[in-house]
Structure 1
Amino acid sequence: MTGHGVEPQLAVDPRLRAKLARLRSPDQPNTEDESERSCEDTLLARIAWSRLVEPGDGTAGALLAALGPAPALRLLIEGVSSRAIAERAEAAGADLARRNLDEALDRWRPRLDRRATLGDIERAIAAGLRVIMPGDSCWPEGFADLGAHAPTVLWTRGDPALLRAPGLSVVGARAATGYGSHVTAEIVDGVCAAGIVIVSGAAYGIDAVAHRTALAAEAPTVAVLAGGADRAYPQAHDSLLERIGREGLVCAEMIPGSAPTKWRFRARNRLIAALTPATLVTEAGIRSGSINTAGHAATLGRALGAVPGPVTSAASTGCHLLIREYGAMLVANAREACELLDIGDQLELFGKERLDGVGGAAGAGEQRVPPVHERVLDAIPLRGGRTSDDIARRAGLSPTETRGALAELELLGRVRNAETAGGGELRWSLSR
């Protein structure tokens, strides 16, 4: 153990080894050719990395793929320079830009915290969570398509084998109408009868209808959360998520206890899209987060379907956009929804482009918030303020990135700063 980090060799501690074993299912073999000790080191290192990085960190993904989670973590702990790390990665066949690596190290090193990582393990055990990682027999095949943006681990509650079962992702508006709720329930019920696992995000509206319909049909369903797998969000869905954890699966890439943020919701959507061969949007307005999920599905080459609604309903304009301009299959019933699962490799809808209002151009009349701004705003509390260093740590950004974003947001009138009593460090708060 050195500094504040989590040295992978700490796994030799019998007490820690016992705790790591409790995070693994006894019937969960790792299919990679690793010894038990090596597997423990890898697991501990991946758990540490899940604390260090924000979802979808491509630099971290490329580094771990090139050097391995434990060796890469050791270099981080030892304070090895970005140049030396880049040279080792290059020797292993990876091409990491020095500038990107410099910024990444500035993001990661402030989060190195031995006690916090051990606390993550304790919290996961207390919540009854299990951890799965690449190489495990139930690691989702579809995550391979995410490349360097795949999760470091998944924290799970329930049956992880569902991650490899045939599934359909069903998403839609939080503010669902009676029509949207009805058509979602009708379609999901029929899809469940065909033996298909329903994957969604446990949000209000369409997500909740999809999960509840599957449970009512005594069919498995998977909830992919933007925060920790032990944290019910929204809180009103506590009992729903508890039941999904018993009868299906709740999973998340964030460490236990993590709060969901706008940035993490959007990053989470890539997992919902990657988990299954097809995504179905049953009701969505132009700015619905489910359009973001549809964009990920299209980029990954997944089949995409959308349910049409009344032409007078703003709640269905997103679905109409997907059908009219982006080639989504019009789905009107469960049979047509099941047909999506047979044509995933035939639809090349958008190439690498995102949908309007998602990752590309903003929707009409909407000024798109840059991702860095969004992460900084998410890290500032509704009441009170935080220092720029605290904001950087919570947002998973480097201090330089954070200071630049704060300056831009101040010019836009989104944040303000004030000195603490006694003329201390500036604290940033949201403008009112």
Structure 2
Amino acid sequence: MTNHALTNLALTTDTIGSGGGAAGSEPLADSNDDRERLARAGLSRVVEPGDLAALKAFDGMSALEIWDRLQRKSRGLERWSTRLAEVDPQGDLERAAAAGARFVIPGDEEWPDAVDVLADAGQLTRRAGAPFGLWVRGRANLRAALKQSASIVGARACSSYGDHVAAELSAGLADTGVTVVSGGAFGIDAAAHRGALAASGLTIAVLACGVDVSYPKSNSALLSRIAEDGLVVAELPPGCSPTKLRFLARNRLIAAATQGTVVIEAAIRSGALNTAGWAEQCGRAVLAVPGPITSRMSAGSHLLVRERNALLATSVADIVEAISPFGAHLTEPPRAPQTLADTLAPDLQRTLDAVPVHHPAPATRIAVTAGLDLPTTQQSLESLAAHALITQTPTGWRLPPPTPLA
């Protein structure tokens, strides 16, 4: 089956995709591209995502060289032989096409160069390395969609606060043209996707299984909607199921593909913190949304700020500033609205502070309270009255009564 797949190179882009968006119908002109795509498709099934042993064994080799050595059952590669006998890359490409998906590889117009940083980003939780390719379901162009993007991640068992914040921030990001990337899971992930969709924005779900597999099953309708209006992406070929290590490997893709990762509600032991760790490894911005200090689900977010130099995210503007080029979209620190009293000269301010609220006082009494001479106090009182900041009565000066509520 595998040898047949390697020799049958008469594939069209409708079957294997050319990386330029949705699959087309023109035949590929370069058979070397066919061979490269088939090799990478086969490797995506044979080699587990982020497999450290594979990185060591295949160091310095191209995808075609790795595939050829596996086909020849070269010594030292027995670790991957159990899967090799049943691998059919051409069949996987056809299965993907039947599901409305395509296989995007390095060199394709649609390939997101940002993930290439994983080749040099080191190791985390026994995972490392760049993917051989990405299986993509949806009409949008993956590279263009990720040009300005942020990942929103957090707890599966999130609180109503976390759900609300994730949806609101994601909708706000979508309104500004930022693509929202998450993992398609329960909790914060689902809220982030829904928020972006509600704002008619673009969202991408990066899965730890095949793009034709709905996991969790209760999110099937959401994932279908994402595939219709956004993109569903996976490193694993069609039909693959998720495992714990595959989730950890998936996290590195989410972090590398975007310009920044925002953590909303994460316990101390959380996959979201793993994604934040990968963002740090990849040189991406890491942000954390604060929560109640009594909430266990916010402990991880607070840890990121306190010990790992994460940026505090309290608004869409905070996130946009962090993921934008240096000096662009800078935010102003929050300030209370300035009132007329804030602009008063020092003598006027001291006089105003000395004017009573309820019982009018004469200028002499106000001068003593303010610590000013009488002429200065009298002049200040007249100036304050001209600005309607105080009121004169037959018995002295006082602040004006509060305006009644409508």
TM over 0.5: yes
| 8 A Cα contact 1:170 1:199, kept in partner | yes
Give the Å deviation of 1:65.
Answer: 7.1
1: CA distance between counterparts of 2:296 and 2:216? 24
Question: Which of the residues 151, 161, 165 maps onto 1:169?
Answer: 151
The answer as to 2:276 corresponding to 1:294 is yes
| 8 A Cα contact 1:8 1:70, kept in partner | no
- CA 160–305 in structure 1, closer or farther in 2 if over 3 Å, else same: same
Give the Å deviation of 1:170.
Answer: 0.5
| 8 A Cα contact 1:6 1:48, kept in partner | no
2: CA distance between counterparts of 1:302 and 1:56? 19
Give the counterpart letter for 1:304 in structure 2. Answer: V
2: CA distance between counterparts of 1:339 and 1:180? 22
2: CA distance between counterparts of 1:230 and 1:26? 18
The corresponding residue for 1:51 is 45
The answer as to 2:136 corresponding to 1:156 is yes
Give the Å deviation of 1:73.
Answer: 1.2
Give aligned pairs, total.
312
| 8 A Cα contact 1:23 1:131, kept in partner | yes
- CA 135–63 in structure 1, closer or farther in 2 if over 3 Å, else same: farther
2: CA distance between counterparts of 1:143 and 1:8? 28
| 8 A Cα contact 2:20 2:108, kept in partner | no
2: CA distance between counterparts of 1:122 and 1:24? 10
Give the Å deviation of 1:128.
Answer: 1.6
Cα shift readout 1:276-327 (whole Å, capped 9, x = no counterpart): 1110001111112101101111111111000010001111000000011110
Give the counterpart letter for 1:156 in structure 2. Answer: V
Alignment of 1:325-344 (within 5 A): 325-342=307-324
Secondary structure (helix, strand or coil) at the match of 2:132 reads coil
- CA 60–344 in structure 1, closer or farther in 2 if over 3 Å, else same: farther
Give the Å deviation of 1:70.
Answer: 2.0
- CA 57–344 in structure 1, closer or farther in 2 if over 3 Å, else same: farther
Q: Which protein has greater RCO, CA pairs closer than 8 Å, 6+ apart?
A: 1
Give the Å deviation of 1:187.
Answer: 1.5
Give the Å deviation of 1:338.
Answer: 1.1
Which protein has the bigger helix share? 1
Question: Which of the residues 71, 77, 91 maps onto 2:71?
Answer: 77
| 8 A Cα contact 1:278 1:344, kept in partner | no
Question: Which of the residues 100, 104, 115 maps onto 1:132?
Answer: 104
The answer as to 2:208 corresponding to 1:231 is no
Question: Which of the residues 49, 71, 81 maps onto 1:109?
Answer: 81
Stretches of structure 2 that go unaligned for 5 or more consecutive residues are 23-27, 121-128, 328-406
Give the Å deviation of 1:54.
Answer: 0.3
Cα shift readout 1:105-164 (whole Å, capped 9, x = no counterpart): 122111113564443233212212111001111211211110071111111101233444
- CA 106–53 in structure 1, closer or farther in 2 if over 3 Å, else same: same
TM-score by length of 2: 0.72
Give the counterpart letter for 1:43 in structure 2. Answer: R
1: CA distance between counterparts of 2:252 and 2:38? 25
Secondary structure (helix, strand or coil) at the match of 1:242 reads helix
| 8 A Cα contact 1:156 1:252, kept in partner | yes
Question: Which of the residues 187, 193, 197 maps onto 1:211?
Answer: 193
2: CA distance between counterparts of 1:335 and 1:220? 18
- CA 26–171 in structure 1, closer or farther in 2 if over 3 Å, else same: closer
2: CA distance between counterparts of 1:342 and 1:207? 23
1: CA distance between counterparts of 2:277 and 2:19? 37
Larger Rg: 2
Secondary structure (helix, strand or coil) at the match of 2:8 reads helix
| 8 A Cα contact 1:6 1:114, kept in partner | no
| 8 A Cα contact 1:173 1:206, kept in partner | yes
Give the Å deviation of 1:181.
Answer: 1.1
- CA 136–122 in structure 1, closer or farther in 2 if over 3 Å, else same: closer
Cα shift readout 1:152-201 (whole Å, capped 9, x = no counterpart): 11111012334442100110100110111111122222211111000000
- CA 26–303 in structure 1, closer or farther in 2 if over 3 Å, else same: closer
1: CA distance between counterparts of 2:99 and 2:79? 28
Give the counterpart letter for 1:122 in structure 2. Answer: E
Give the counterpart letter for 1:247 in structure 2. Answer: D
Stretches of structure 1 that go unaligned for 5 or more consecutive residues are 82-101, 346-432
TM-score by length of 1: 0.68
Question: Which of the residues 34, 40, 43 maps onto 2:34?
Answer: 40
Question: Which of the residues 16, 21, 30 maps onto 1:23?
Answer: 16
The corresponding residue for 1:357 is none
